[in-house]
Amino acid sequence: MAKDNPIRLTNPKFIVIFILLWAVLLYVGHQRLYALFDYWLYSFLGVLGATFANATGAGGGVIFIPMFTQLNFTEHQSIATSFAIQCFGMTAGAVTWSHHYYSQKRALRLWQGYKRIVTLTSLSSVLALTGVFVFQVYPPSSLHTNFSWFSLLLGLFIILTVFLLKPHRERSQIVLFDYLALVLIGLFGGAVTAWLSVGVGELLVIYLILRRFDINMAIATAVVVSAISVWVAIVQVHQDVYWHVLLFAGPGAVLGGVFAKTVVAHMSATRLKLFFAFWLLITGSLGIV
Collapse the DSSP code of 213 into the 3-class scheme (helix H, G, I; strand E, B; otherwise coil) and give the result.
strand
Residues 6+ apart with CB under 8 A from 164: none
Q: What is the pTM of this model?
A: 0.84
Q: Considering only CA atoms, which of 247, 284, 27, 69 is closest in space to residue 157?
A: 284
Listed residue (258, 253, 255, 260) closest to 63, CA to CA: 253
pLDDT at 261 (0 to 100): 65
> Which range, of 97-106, 174-183, 261-270, averages the lowest pLDDT?
261-270
Q: Phi/psi of residue 64, each to 5°?
A: -70, -45
CA dihedral 233, 235, 239, 245 (to 10 degrees): 60
Quick check: 108 and 10 in contact, CB under 8 A? no
Higher pLDDT, 257 or 166: 257
Per-residue pLDDT of 114-159, as tens digits, reads 999 999 999 999 999 999 999 999 888 888 889 889 888 888 887 8
Indicate the pLDDT class of residue 167, thresholds 50, 70 and 90.
Answer: low
What local confidence, expressed as pLDDT, does residue 233 receive? 96
The angle subtended at Cα 74 by Cα 252 and Cα 198, nearest 5°, is 55
Nearest CA to 239 out of 107, 79, 90 is that of 79
188-200 per-position pLDDT tens digit: 999 999 999 999 9
Exposed (0-12), middle (13-18) or buried (19+): which is 139, by Cβ within 10 Å?
middle
Q: What are the tens digits of pLDDT across the range 115-124?
A: 999 999 999 9
Identity at 9, one-letter amino acid code = L
Average pLDDT score over residue span 36-44: 71
**HSE, side-chain direction, 13 A CA sphere, residue 286:** 11
Phi-psi region of 136 (alpha: psi -120 to 50; beta: other; left: phi over 0): left
pLDDT at 6: 44
214-265: pLDDT as tens digits: 888 998 999 999 999 999 999 999 899 988 888 888 888 887 777 766 766 6
CA 211-117-190 angle, 5° bins: 95
Phi/psi of residue 171, each to 5°? -85, 145
List CB contacts of 180: < 8 A, sequence separation 6 or more. Answer: none
Task: Determine the Cα–Cα distance for residues 197 and 47; give it in Å rounded to an integer.
Answer: 17
**Residue 126, pLDDT score:** 97
Crossing angle of the two packed helices 143-164 and 61-70, in degrees rounded to 10: 140
More confidently predicted of 32 and 137? 137
Percentage of the chain with pLDDT > 90? 33
Question: Where does residue 7 rank: exposed (0-12), middle (13-18), buried (19+ CB within 10 A)?
Answer: middle
| Mean pLDDT over the full length of the chain | 82
| Model confidence at 267: pLDDT above 80 | no
d(CA 125, CA 134): 14
Q: What is the structure's pLDDT at 1?
A: 40
Strand partners, 213: 171
Q: Taking the alpha carbons of 128, 133, 135, 138 in that order, is the dihedral positive or negative? A: positive
Residue type, 262: T
